[in-house]
Amino acid sequence: MKRGVWIGIGAVVVVAVVSLAWTLLRPRPVKWSEYTVEKGNFRVTFNSMGTITPKNKIVVSSPLGGRVDRVLREEGDVVKKGDVLAWVSSADRVALMDAIQSGDADASWTEMYKPAPVRSPVDGRIIAKTVVQGQTVAPETALYELSDVLIVVSKVDETDIGKVRLDQVVDVRVDAFPDNPVKARVTRVGEKSTVLNNVTAYEVFLEPEQPFATTYRAGMNVSVDYIVREVDDAVVLPTWITEGRQRTEFQLKVRDENGDAEDRAITLGPSNGQLVEVTQGLRAGDRVLYQPMEYKQKDNSGSPFGLGGGGGRRR
């Protein structure tokens, strides 16, 4: 082949290589998408577990030694202060009643020896009954346990205890009734920590805004959402636009009134994992520009199974 032909072929190859390199390496135009800023309810919470427990547990004991004549109230009953829970006969009356039954005493003596009432000292609910009719008791033998009101005691991790304050509103969900959340407030924060499974936690006491339903029981497990921040009309952005940033300044491209893109500094507040609050720099209706993620299918042609995979990059 003549030298001129080779030169021509070489020139064609060089032009093709240069053209391909230019196609591959030349700057690609940036593609932008728009997101319209909105206002909405914004809430930041953290979660802990807890247990329903009596605020005050009162033990009702026998006023004297003797025998239980009658048991009037059962576990779960709601009682008022002064209600009679049971009747107890003294040891002397027990002996007299036994003598009357055997015919060794006059029944008129029963008017002189009356049984003693066991009365409820408070309004509340009976959460335990440890007595049966005919039982022999000594003075101060525990007969009943009463709860005045039910509250929640939650265990808050030491990393979150700084977010808890008195009178803070929380949402309580009882595991047995998950569809019926209850509003409660923080009434006390424990001073002494407990350690369980190498986790340090503090007890936080919560009182419901309305008394728990009678179907709720002491000892039931609950989930508690502590409301750290709640704003009804907050300017918010999805966290993927701000790349997960919060409580800092951030640069965004925003369309101005003429539709042109401008760089704008905004101030970010807290995030709840899905949304981040914008405290300065944006308002509802602003159009934020962002570069969408581009997903490219990996070439798995060499795989004997021909299975594809995915990878992503932001344009």
Domain ranges of the chain: 33-42+231-294, 45-54+149-230, 62-147
What is the predicted pLDDT for the residue at 310? 41
Per-position pLDDT tens, the chain of length 315:
556 655 666 665 665 665 665 556 655 656 788 999 999 899 999 999 999 999 999 999 999 999 999 999 999 899 999 999 999 998 888 878 777 777 666 666 666 778 999 999 999 999 999 999 999 999 989 999 999 889 999 999 999 999 999 999 999 999 999 999 999 999 999 999 999 889 999 999 999 999 888 889 889 999 999 999 999 999 999 999 999 999 999 999 999 888 889 999 999 999 999 999 999 999 999 999 988 865 455 555 444 433 333 444 444
The closest of 131, 129, 126 to 147, measured between CA atoms, is 126
Q: Using a cut of 0.85, tell me whether the model's pTM lies above it.
A: no
Backbone angles phi, psi at 286, to 5 degrees: -65, 145
CATH number of 45-54+149-230: 2.40.30.170
- Contact between 72 and 265 (Cβ < 8 Å): no
Residues 6 or more apart whose CB falls under 8 angstroms from that of 17 comprise none
- Environment class of 70 (CB within 10 Å of its CB; exposed 0-12, middle 13-18, buried 19+): middle
For domain 62-147, which architecture applies?
Answer: Beta Barrel (2.40)
pLDDT of residue 10: 60
Residue 37 CA to residue 107 CA, distance in Å, equals 89
Name the β-bridge partners of 45: 227
DSSP codes, 202-240: EEEEEEESSPPPTT--TT-EEEEEEEEEEEEEEEEEETT
Return the pLDDT at 32.
81
pLDDT score, position 253: 92
Indicate the class that CATH gives domain 33-42+231-294.
mainly beta
Residue 101 has what pLDDT? 76
Eight-state DSSP code of residue 110: G
Give the model's pLDDT for residue 308. Answer: 38
According to the model, what pLDDT value does residue 100 have? 76
